[in-house]
Amino acid sequence: KNEVEQSPQNLTAQEGEFITINCSYSVGISALHWLQQHPGGGIVSLFMLSSGKKKHGRLIATINIQEKHSSLHITASHPRDSAVYICAVREGIGTDKLIFGTGTRLQVFP
Amino acid sequence: DVKVTQSSRYLVKRTGEKVFLECVQDMDHENMFWYRQDPGLGLRLIYFSYDVKMKEKGDIPEGYSVSREKKERFSLILESASTNQTSMYLCASSRRGVLYEQYFGPGTRLTVT
């Protein structure tokens, strides 16, 4: 069983739809990251959170530490949001290494 | 802005060749990482360096070695390339500590024939 699991693996949406991507983890963590990878490879960090909720533009990330679960929401989705979204966790406080989920591939159609 | 650069975007090598992948970061980060990314498997850590000349094995170090002689540069070496090392290789860097995110390079797509 993977320590970090994402769902769904693939997601298609029409422009304007509200999108939710889920991440569950089985280890104790000090932080959770949401990353975005566009075709071509480059990965950028969207959020780093250890509690509560963060918002940046149309993106919202939430985390429930007790339930070991995080969600990434995209409001008013747009074709340029099409990418792979990756959840990663930092296990405990003694390491700077991350454990990655396998990613959710999102395609938003006009 | 943090910049992480990798020496090549695409590389084709033959089985048995020695391959060098280089990564350079310009933000004086202590930590540097080498990952490989394969479909369905996500990113897997090959090696991690937390300081000059310091390294730690990741989840899949077999067949790889690394070198960090200067703080800004972290090299991944495939001593004798094999076809199962065909993959996307990503380098990242970060400051040391819980509060800091990792910054990724653009990736090198390596094909071993």
Nearest to A96 among B90, B96, B109 (CB): B96
pLDDT, residue B2, reads 65
Is residue A93 over pLDDT 80?
Answer: no
Is the pLDDT at A91 greater than 90, yes or no? no
Asked whether residue A41 carries a pLDDT value surpassing 80, the answer given is no
CB pairs under 8 A between A and B: 54
Average pLDDT over residues B34-45: 93
Q: Quickly list DSSP for chain A.
A: --SEEEE-SEEEEETT--EEEEEEE-S-EEEEEEEEE-TTS-EEEEEEESSEEEEETTEEEEEETTTTEEEEEESS--GGG-EEEEEEEEESSS---EEE---EEEEEE-
Out of A45, A90, A100, the one facing B43 most closely (by C-beta) is: A100
Interface contact flag, A96 B31, Cβ < 8 Å: yes
Residue B58 pLDDT greater than 70, yes or no: yes
Tell me, what's the pLDDT at A96? 84
pLDDT of the residue at B40: 86
Quote the minimal CA–CA distance from A103 to chain B in Å.
7
B47 touches chain A (CB under 8 A): no
Taking an 8 Å cut-off on Cβ atoms, the answer to whether A30 and B98 are in contact is yes
Q: What is the mean pLDDT of residues A39-49?
A: 89
pLDDT at A40 over 90: no
Mark yes or no for CB contact B101/A45 under 8 Å.
yes
**B83: DSSP letter:** G
Mean pLDDT of A63-74: 96
> How high does pLDDT run on average in chain A?
93
B78, pLDDT greater than 90: yes
Which of A10, A49, A96, A104 would best serve as a mutation to test chain B binding (most B beta carbons within 10 A)? A96
Q: What is the pLDDT of residue A1?
A: 58
Q: Which two tokens stand for residue B11?
A: 């590389």
Partner-chain contact B107 A44, CB within 8 Å: no
Across the interface, whether the CB atoms of A96 and B94 are under 8 A apart is answered yes
Q: What is the mean pLDDT of residues B66-71?
A: 96
Percent of chain B with pLDDT over 90: 88
> Is A56 near chain B, with CB under 8 Å?
no
Q: What is the mean pLDDT of residues B64-92?
A: 97
Peptide bond preceding A8 in cis form (omega within 30 of 0): yes
Q: Which whole number is the average pLDDT over B77-99?
A: 93
How does the average pLDDT of chain B come out, rounded? 94
Helix (H, G, I), strand (E, B) or coil at B102: coil
Q: Which of B5, B101, B104 to probe the A interface (max A CBs under 10 A)?
A: B101
**pLDDT per residue as tens digits for the range B9-27:** 999 999 999 999 999 999 9
Q: CA–CA separation, A78 vs B20, rounded Å?
A: 39
Quick one: average pLDDT of B68-84? 97
At A39 the pLDDT is 85
